[in-house]
A and B are shown apart, each in its own frame.
Chain A
Amino acid sequence: MTDDFDDPDLAAALRNIAGPVPSVDAALPVFHRRVRVARIRRVSVAVSGAAAVALIAVGAVALTGNERGNSITPMDPSITLDTVADPSTGVGPSTTTTPTTTRVDDGDTGPSSGSGAGTAGESGSGGTASIPSSGSASTTVGDSDNPDDPDGSDDSSNADDSEDGHNEGSGNSRTTTTTGGRAVTKRCSSAGGSFTASHLIKNSVTNVSPAPGFSKTDQEIESEKITVVFGDNEVEYHVVARWTGESFSCSVGS
């Protein structure tokens, strides 16, 4: 104690006010009990924290999975795109969009005797068709998610359906999506021409190759677009890519 403030009388008086020193023996069990409680609390907090972290991790994984699914869904064309054009008459094509995802191109491209624009199927949603005056067919198909057609069948009335029709002209292009959005088999038949797949997700093209039995033609793959130029009468190409809203155009006779 510093001499300047040393005051035994004051210290004694203060001790008198404060009373006796509390019993340690009585306090010790209380201390041990509090230590146990604190330990249990820490363990429970740690367990809760671990559970929370696990829950967050599971949630994150689930969200990531959903995100992937969401990124696929709008890109899933779920459509069958039939484009028939008759350049000999200069009349545009008919376009049918259907929400099917399983339709496989059977290659049945019969001759067409009809001319004139077909009727867009009523099951297609968001589809637009542009008819170039040069006789080339350019078809853009939008979102194929059609709630009106849950079974995915093509119930549209198409007067110029290439499945049934036939084409007397020299140009007949037909494109068909075959799988669920990431892969598409595109077939064009004409006396030369080209088809283009656009609106692709940038750099998402993983494969562009002629289907078995078809010869390789010139192809150009850009980051968001594929162009295949062919000189034979018919070409069928497999395209594996992802796209934001499918847009295929098949030009014939050029």
Chain B
Amino acid sequence: MVGVDHHDWNAGTLRTDIESYFRAHYGRLVRALTLVGGSEEAAADAVQEAFVKAHQKWRTVSQYDDPVGWIRRVAINRLHDEHRRNTRKDRAVARLGAGETWTVDAPEASTSEPLAAALAGLPRQQRLAVALFYLEGLSVAETASALEISEGAVKFHLHQGRERLRGLLDEEWRP
């Protein structure tokens, strides 16, 4: 984790601090949330917005034990909001009888792959747990903190998700 000098609060230091965090965590966070949200653009937007909020409240956020954890939660919440907004749009369009609904929930890049399709089929919370644990490399406790659920719930989600994905993985690797 990038160190922060909590005592020097001039603009330059603030900029350096937040930039350091941005450089260290932006890419991995966007990639993990892309796996959840299905759209790299939506994931990048959520992470950027989270960093902007962190920048606005950096004096407070930087005092936290895990500032990146705070940023991660903000990004996830924003992604959730976006997901809910899109779901409402889909329902509204369906009610209007447009006949065509759209969603950004499924991964775009490789929906043809069985593993990606299986991942997209996981419940959203389960998909988040899998992404944060396997892709971001968070621990069970960190994943629980990011999702604001208990560690037991994280273990349940990881177990269920791994069962379903691992089966497909074995089939792909089978000669």
Contacts and interface: CB of A to CB of B under 8 A. Distances in A.
Interface of A: 1-2, 4-5, 7, 9-11, 13-15, 17-24, 27-28, 30-31, 34-35, 38, 42
> Interface residues of B toward A: which range?
35 or more
A21 B162 contact: no
A111 to B, nearest CB: 89
A27 B19 contact: no
B40 interface: yes
B31 interface: yes
Given A18-B135, A22-B27, A10 B162 contact: yes
B169 interface: yes
Interface of B: 19, 22-23, 26-28, 30-32, 34-35, 40, 44, 48-49, 51-52, 55-56, 107, 109-110, 113, 115-116, 119, 130-131, 133-135, 137, 139-140, 155, 158-159, 162, 165-166, 169, 173
14 contacts: A9-B169, A17-B109, A17-B113, A18-B35, A19-B31, A19-B34, A21-B28, A22-B40, A22-B44, A24-B26, A24-B27, A27-B44, A27-B48, A38-B56
A35 B113 CA distance: 38
A24 to B, nearest CB: 5
Contacts of B56: 38, 42
A94 B121 CA distance: 99
Nearest to A9: B169
Contact of B133 (A5, A19, A23, A35): A5
Given A13-B115, A27-B48, A19 B169 contact: no
A4 B116 CA distance: 23
Contacts of A9: 169, 173
B35 A11 contact: no
B140 A17 contact: no
